[in-house]
């Protein structure tokens, strides 16, 4: 049963990956027509690169830093050889960090209001 669950999860992940790549291809190919076959080949290529090249690098970077979880710094390190990609990823990481900080502040604020409203025990 566990093998079936893994296989179905892997199939869902591949389908999601394919949909994401096709979406980007359709969005970016407004001036140059792109065949469906090319888009599918690009999907296979990117999935292969991510699983066979990028993911192991990220795991090694995290392990080297004595962490068990891959972090933003590992992704930025993987992009170190491409200035444009690194800049795009750094901008996205900063945007995500701002959102995380806002959510934390909102939770702290709502937690303080809730405990203040409850009054002394």
Mutual angle of helices 36-49 and 2-28, in 10-degree steps:
130
Neighbours of 60 (CB within 10 A): 14
Q: How far is CA 14 from the centre of its chain?
A: 15
User: Is the whole-model pTM more than 0.85?
Assistant: no
55, two tokens: 């993911």
The residue with tokens 């296989």 is: 7
Predicted confidence (pLDDT) at residue 31 exceeds the cutoff of 50? yes
Could you give the CA distance from residue 39 to residue 25 in angstroms, rounded to a whole number?
A: 7
Predicted confidence (pLDDT) at residue 79 exceeds the cutoff of 50? yes
**What is the pLDDT at residue 111?**
59
- Confidence bin at 2 (pLDDT 50/70/90): low
**What is the pLDDT at residue 121?**
47
**What is the pLDDT at residue 78?**
94
């Amino acid at each position: 049963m566990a093998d079936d669950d893994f296989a179905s999860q892997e199939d869902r992940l591949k389908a999601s990956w394919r949909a994401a790549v096709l979406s980007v291809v359709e969005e970016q190919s407004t001036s140059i027509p792109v065949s469906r076959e090319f888009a599918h080949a690009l999907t296979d290529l990117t999935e292969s690169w991510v699983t066979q090249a990028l993911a192991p690098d990220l795991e090694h970077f995290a392990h080297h830093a004595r962490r068990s979880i891959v972090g933003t710094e590992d992704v930025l390190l993987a992009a170190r050889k491409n200035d444009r990609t690194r800049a795009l990823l750094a901008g996205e990481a900063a945007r995500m960090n701002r959102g995380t900080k806002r959510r934390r502040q909102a939770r702290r604020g709502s937690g303080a209001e809730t405990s203040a409203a409850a009054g002394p025990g």
